[in-house]
Amino acid sequence: MIHAIDTARIKREWFSNVRGDLLAGIVVALALIPEAIGFSIVAGVDPKVGLYASFCIAVVTAFVGGRPAMISGATAAMALLMITLVRDHGLEYLFAATVVTGLIQVVFGIAKLGRYMRFVPKSVMIGFVNALAIMIFLAQLEHFQGAGLGVMGLVIAGLAIIYLFPRLTRVVPSPLVAIVVLTVFAVFSGIAFRTVGDMGALPSALPFFGLPMVPFTLETLMIVLPYAFPLALVGLIESLLTANIVDDLTDTPSDKNREARGQGIANVVTGCFGGMAGCAMIGQSIINVGSGGRTRLSTLMGGVFLMAMILLLGNLVQLIPIGALVAVMVMVSINTFDWSSLPGMLRHPKSDTIVMLATVGVVLWTHNLALGVGVGVVLSALFFSRKIAKLIEVDSELDAAGRTRTYTVLGQLFFVSTESFLASFDVTEDVDEVVIDLSHAQLWDGSAVAAIDKVVLRFRGRRTRVSLRGLNDASTKLLTSLAMHDRPGSRLGGGH
């Protein structure tokens, strides 16, 4: 029975879409080449470092990752964090930081921190996606500088093929057709287009295993840890958010904790094979899914075809005009952007729109996806707290004798709502007893308990008896643990 289940799972995750995965893998490999080279240049390292990273990470995550069809490799967000380390300490310390980054991510995965991704609101997700789409598009503009109208024409022709060819047939992915057609045109037209070969020397051999050549001391750890920890966080945030996007595109679930562990294992392996730290690549993942990739086989083939093209077809790959790959990346940016979010700003709550725009703005300003997501989550929490605070309500009723006032509290009492809560009590009223009914309320934090203390002690200061009733178990436990109004030394302390 177990064997049958394993066989079915392996077939579903690996061999349920062989043709689509193979074709998608070719397209992804072609798209990975300029990206890996470009990100290597950003980090200040040789192009082969980024290419080896994209190969190793793609292959490893195909087996141990938690999101089939997602592509991982060298990324801009990670490369930006490496610049200072490479400049100040050299390449070997980058490899050491990559290994430590992976170990931190494995710990995160084992601790099942991936489950906290559910706290990232939809508005932050949309902001993340839109910011990334804009960054992908802006990254292509440098290829037009001083390139003349030829490159512009090449990009326009590529986009035309990408969007019009599917009307004829979908047997072959249109981005692959665009790359082949434009490469043939560039070669036989005699026009001097900038090509992949102009971006740097391609590797001539497979990466080999070797531990980073650094002293295995506490001093080394102190050097790499300030880089490894933010690399681990950025990598996990980008990977898990990308996994959510692929979940939506394919309408299938993923294992976020397994993905966190898989990313960590991949970075440990990469650091030992001469590669830089990487993570999930939303652009390439969308290319993969859009080209028909659905299983782990597409991820594996992306990495394998990447290295095969570099080693076996390097001379041909070097002939691919950059304009053809720019066209593919522009298509990715167009497809990545959530265009429905623009008219949606008129329909959605203003708070959601502010969160989305803030996320986009911070990412574009800092080029730091993790910081943008962090700001978005904090803003969402603040807006949520403000909304919840308005839900607190305190009603009061005086008994027939006019000597006992009962206050009925409804809603959530925590640090944001305590001000409204305190303003609802009239401590100057001449009554003998005050009853605070908390049957329909929930105490959440120390600020809530402090507010209860303040109300009770104010009434007792005017010789008014106070009793609390209706507390649920969780609120009772919190009050018993933190409340001061019945402890020795509190002003007019006494029983409830």
- Find all residues with CB under 8 Å of 151, minimum gap 6, and list them: 143, 144, 193, 194, 321, 322, 323, 326
More confident residue, 246 or 77: 246
- Find all residues with CB under 8 Å of 39, minimum gap 6, and list them: 50, 74, 75, 76, 78, 79, 276
Give me the amino acid identity at 196.
Answer: V
Q: Which candidate, 472, 444, 443, 468, places its Cα nearest to that of 455?
A: 468
With a threshold of 0.85, does the pTM exceed it? no
Percent of the chain past pLDDT 90, that is, above it, reads 45
Q: Which candidate, 287, 364, 294, 298, places its Cα nearest to that of 35?
A: 287
Position 433 scores a pLDDT of 94
59 pLDDT higher than 70: yes
Q: Which candidate, 43, 68, 48, places its Cα nearest to that of 58?
A: 68
Question: Tokens standing for 352?
Answer: 């959601």
More confident residue, 138 or 72: 72
Position 218 scores a pLDDT of 93
Position 476 scores a pLDDT of 92
Give me the amino acid identity at 134.
Answer: I
- Find all residues with CB under 8 Å of 413, minimum gap 6, and list them: 392, 421, 441, 442, 443, 444, 448, 451, 452
